[in-house]
Amino acid sequence: MKKESAFSGLEAAIVLIAFVVVAAVFSYVMLGAGFFATQKAQEVTYSGMKQATSNLIMDGMIYGSYDKTNGLKALYFYVKVPEGGETQDLKYVDYLWTIENKAVTTVAKANLDPSKGQLNPGARQKVTLTTPGGYKPKAGEKFVLEIKPKTGASSIITRTLADGYRGGVVI
């Protein structure tokens, strides 16, 4: 009597090969997804690092012009992008200003050299800010200036004018 329902060695080999092929395809897909996820995570990390180092920092001292009657008229200082940072478009930088017991206000756009629309890493640019009316600190008073670029972190500068301040370096 013949058994036709038996499982031959050839059929077993075919089933084994099918399992191996399916496992190989599955592992290839999983490896591809893993590499893709790793690449995306690396891109996110690099863009985060680039953005974190793309702030504008003050380079040097702050100078001011002072009116005995009205108070601080204008500020002069240099800003730069640190090495390794991203180029900043200076027309999109906001300057926020406040003095004690006053709300924060935006200073009118800074007077900049028109040829310097972009500030590259390592380069510096002189900024002249005219203090807004009603926000002019007098000698002995404190002010806060926030430099807020379009991308990157803000830089906050807090200074107190000396009691006998009449212009020059703001300490």
* Distance of alpha carbon 158 from alpha carbon 78, whole angstroms: 16
Q: What local confidence, expressed as pLDDT, does residue 63 receive?
A: 94
How much is the pTM? 0.67
72, 137 contact by CB (below 8 A): yes
Q: What local confidence, expressed as pLDDT, does residue 5 receive?
A: 65
Indicate the DSSP class of residue 92. G
Residue 3 confidence class, pLDDT cut points 50, 70, 90: low
* Distance of alpha carbon 101 from alpha carbon 103, whole angstroms: 7
CATH of span 57-170:
2.60.40.10
Q: Is residue 57 over pLDDT 80?
A: yes
Q: What local confidence, expressed as pLDDT, does residue 135 receive?
A: 83
- Residues forming a β-bridge with 121: 81
Of the listed ranges 25-29, 57-61, 115-119, 166-170, the one predicted with least confidence = 115-119
What are the sequence ranges of the domains in the chain? 8-52, 57-170
